[in-house]
Each structure stands twice: as structure tokens, then as C-alpha cells.
Structure 1
Amino acid sequence: MADGQMTAAAFLVAELRRARARRGWSQEELAKAVNYSPSMVSAVELGQQPPTAKYLELLDRALDTGGLFSRMSTELVSLDRAQVWLRGGRAIETQAQSLRWYEPLHVPGLLQTEAYARAVFEAGSLLEPDEVDRRLADRMERHEILYSDRPPKITAVIDEVVLRRQAGDRKTMCDQLLYLARVTTEHPRVRVLVVPASAGEHPGFGGPFILAVLSDGSQLAYLDSQIRGQEFDRPQDLHRLQRVWETVLGEALPPQESTKLMREVAESWS
């Protein structure tokens, strides 16, 4: 529900359950028909997991709906202000096999030092101190993902301006950039590349985004904003962001040159 009214996403979930029931299938029988696990079917019907475009395509085929649910997802659910199954950035990071992360504004959250993250949250004094502390604790806790048993493979591309825009004091910047250089050379699952200022204008100017491959093999895009994050899995949206990713990746310096630039700019902050 949003503002006391049923959202299109909630309606879609309810109709998925009704369609299965009308066919007389259990969740296990539907799972077999669409080649997904029963737990996935259950999570979708509880609104805990978003039905991917592929899932709905197979379900439409199995239930002979003429593509009804795929159209509902594409044309109605995308208009919701509050989709029932939105994971949020933290859940996406936890579920991801890989993350391709473009960030032109600041160091990606999973790679921020505590002092740098605090400076980001305290900027402009817009947040109350207790809210800063809450967000900071959450961000630092999320770093455990990098050192879990199965950390995601992270490829982060940042613009050079990120290295040169001050957040906190000069020591904060120096420590942050040295940490970036260290993690990209020492962590086997993390690579950080820098788009040099000399690259000029490129499609990444449209804003930051994350392309995630989740543990079930599905793909998802995540765009953060001042108000809330947005998640996309429509093929056309993913294709567009993949093209942007390929472009900014092509503009980035090679790994060794990126790391060298991080260390050089860190030295200028010391």
C-alpha cells in the first residue's frame, strides 16, 4: 500500500497468486512449469522478491495469458512510487555476484573510509547528528560484504574530480585515496578505475548508477538519488545503462595508471 491505496506492484502480486490458483497449481507446480525454485515463487507472491522480466515471460507462457503480466510490469508497475518488492541498495549489495559501479560525484559507499563517509553525511549540516551516526554505522557495517565468504566482484569507475573534491579535512582525503589505491591492488575482487579529467564530456555525466548481477543470475540496475533509490530490470533500461558503462569504462585509465593517479593525488592532499 502507498498513501492507503493499493499500488500497481501489489495488484500484480495479487493477480499472480489468483492466476496460479485458477489454474489449480500449487507453488511447487508453478515453479516446475517456469523452471524456478518454489522458494522464488513464494517470495514473489509474498512481495519479497521482484518478478524479473524473464520470470514473467515464462509465467505468461505457462499460464497462456498472452503476455498480460509482462505488460502489467512494464506499463503499470514502473509508474509506482512505492513498489512492494524494492530491495534497497544494501540488499542488492548483499545479493550480488558482481557490481559494476559508476560514480562521478564521490567515492562509492562500499569503498569509503569512516572519516570520508562522515564528511559526506555531515555536508551542509542537513542531517541531525543522530541521523549522521545511524547512516555512518550502516555504511561501515555494509563494508563487511567485501570480506564475506563470497564477496561480490566489484568494478568501480570514478571520475578524477572525485579524487580532487575535498570531503572532510586534507588528512581525510589523503587517507581515503590511499585506501582506494590499496584496496584495488590488494583485494582480489575489487578494481577501481579513474576517468581522467582530460577525457572531457562523456555519457556518464548523466549520473551515477550500479549494474548488478544477483545470486540467481538476474540483472538489475540501481540509481540512487537525494530522495530514494530506483531499481530497474527492463531489458531496454539495462541495455541503455550497459552502453553507458561500456563508454565510461573505455574512457577510464588502465588499472596501474588509475592506481598511480590515486597515489599522486593522495600525496597532494598530505
Structure 2
Amino acid sequence: MTSEESLDPDRSMWDYIAVELRKERRARGVSGAALARLIGRDRSIVSRIESGRIPMQLDHAEIIDREWSLERRFTRLVKFAKERKDDEWRLGDLAEQEARATRVRLWEIGLVPGLLQTPDYARAVFSVGLVRNLDEAVQTRLDRQAAVFNREQPPEVSVILNWVVLEQPVGPSAIMREQLGHLLELSNLPHVNVRVLEKSAGVHVGYDGMLELLTVDARDIAYADAPHGGGLVTDPKDVQDFEVRYDRIGHIAAPIGPSRAVIQQAMEMYQ
């Protein structure tokens, strides 16, 4: 099935926008490359919008309406789509976006982030939940990691860990020691840095919850955790709020070198 065939404009406002954009562009004899130049982006962005892989941005809609004299047609459609919470554009799952990201920024409060977990640590985390097939869950997590770190050009990864992550035992001491050692190994990679927010920082904005920021197709999206499953955030204004929170956490986190020392010291707790 082609991307065009997978769109359902009768059920999704975002799919309707994608179909209408392609129809309007073709009716005018405008190439995808020409439309890309019009909105100041590359050809692949237009292709992804028309295939429903990414949503049209409001500023792009405004440009198209103005240049094609459409009397705010796409501007209104994008605004309506954003307001329809029962018809949110689906990015695909988090793992899919991580596999495409060129930059990953993570903040975690109480556990090592999934992308950095060892198999035994992941198994210990899953074993206290409602996971029915532990082997499958662990393998899925490892596949997710491989899609990020085993690429020919892996993304830049920046991680900030709350001090609780280091002191909260997950499984036997051997598992924790191996996990912390894994963090140190990852932090030696040129495209990975791991920092720690120490206990002395006190209460801070990071306690609002974990967050993940991804740069995909030259634009930032965010992932916010929730009790019954997190969600991907695409609206630029909302994403900016997450970026500000991440920056504020980073301002009070220990630098890379001292953070490595904190992790090494924590390893001594798990003899």
C-alpha cells in the first residue's frame, strides 16, 4: 500500500490536509521541489507532509494560502486539526522517532532511561510491572537501543539523570553495578554525554516528570511521560516549553567530568 492509499481523509483532519495539499499542488502544476522552496524547506518535508508522516505547520499553511491566494484555507484547516483532540496526528511510536532522530535529549527522575539500560536492568524493571512476556519486552528494548546507537551516523545524545537513579536499587547489587558501568562506557562515546543532577540541587522543575526531546527532520518534538502511557508533542510552542524545562535542569546539573565521578562513587555502593 502506498502512502497516498493509507491516508483516510474521511476520518482524519490531518489526512485531509495532506490529500488536499497534494491535489492543490498538482492542479497548479507545482512540483514538490518548488513547493519546498516556497515554504523554505527541503523537498523531503513536502513529501512527508503529503504522505501524512508529519503534520503541516501553521507558518507553512499561511505561506501557501498567501502565495496561492487560497483565502486562509490551509491556515484554517491546520488550526481546526490542532483543536480536534480526538483526531491528533499520529507520529508513530517513540521508538520510530528515536530511530530517525539526529539529536536526543533525555531527563529521567527515578530510573535509567530505556535507551541506556542493560538487559538485566531492563528485565528487573519489567518484572515489577504487568509485562506478560519478559523476554519479548527486553528484546524490544534492546532493538530500540540498536536502532539509535548502531547506526552509521548515530545521533547526538545528551542525558541528565536525577541522583535518585543512581541510589535507587533495581535488582541485586550486581545488576546496578553493571548498569552504572554501562553508563560510564556510553559517556565515553564522542556523541554521548551523561550528567547527574545531585541531591544538593534541592527541589527543581525536573520533578514535573521525565522528558525526552528529539530532533527529527530538522524540527524538535517532545515526549512526555504519563501514568497510562506517554505522548508525543509536536506543536512548536509546547515543545519550546519542554526545551526551557530541559535547559533549566541542565543549568543546575553537574558538568560531564564531575558527573562521571558521581557515577563511579555510586558504583562503590553496590559491592
Q: Is the shorter-chain TM-score for this pair beyond 0.5, marking a shared fold?
A: yes
- Say whether the 8 Å CA contact 1:157–1:252 is kept in structure 2: yes
- Say whether the 8 Å CA contact 2:81–2:87 is kept in structure 1: no
Q: Which residue of 1 aligns with 2:189?
A: 187
CA distance in 2, matches of 1:228, 1:51: 25
1:202-217 equivalences under 5 Å are: 202-214=204-216, 216-217=217-218
C-alpha offsets along residues 93-133 of structure 1, whole Å, 9 cap, x if unaligned? Answer: 12211111111131111111111111122213x1112xx32
Q: CA 1:6/1:38 → structure 2, altered by over 3 Å: closer, same or farther?
A: same
SS at match of 2:222: strand
C-alpha offsets along residues 151-170 of structure 1, whole Å, 9 cap, x if unaligned? Answer: 10011111101111222222
CA distance in 2, matches of 1:255, 1:202: 20
Letter of the 1:158 counterpart:
L
Letter of the 2:178 counterpart:
D
- Say whether the 8 Å CA contact 1:88–1:229 is kept in structure 2: no
Alignment pair present for 1:91 and 2:96:
yes
CA distance in 2, matches of 1:154, 1:44: 27
CA distance in 2, matches of 1:164, 1:172: 13
Letter of the 1:170 counterpart:
S
If the length of structure 2 is used for normalisation, what is the TM-score?
0.85
Alignment pair present for 1:127 and 2:143:
no
Q: Which residue of 1 aligns with 2:268?
A: 267
Shift of 1:202: 0.9
Structure 1: tracts of 5 or more residues without a match? none
Alignment pair present for 1:7 and 2:8:
no
Q: CA 1:168/1:39 → structure 2, altered by over 3 Å: closer, same or farther?
A: same
Q: Which residue of 2 aligns with 1:243?
A: 244
If asked which structure has higher relative contact order (CA below 8 Å, sep 6+), I would say 1
SS at match of 1:269: coil
- Say whether the 8 Å CA contact 1:16–1:45 is kept in structure 2: yes
Shift of 1:54: 4.7
Shift of 1:265: 1.2
Q: CA 1:52/1:76 → structure 2, altered by over 3 Å: closer, same or farther?
A: closer
SS at match of 1:128: coil
Q: CA 1:264/1:25 → structure 2, altered by over 3 Å: closer, same or farther?
A: same
Choose from 139, 148, 153 the match for 2:151. 148
Q: Which residue of 2 aligns with 1:230?
A: 231
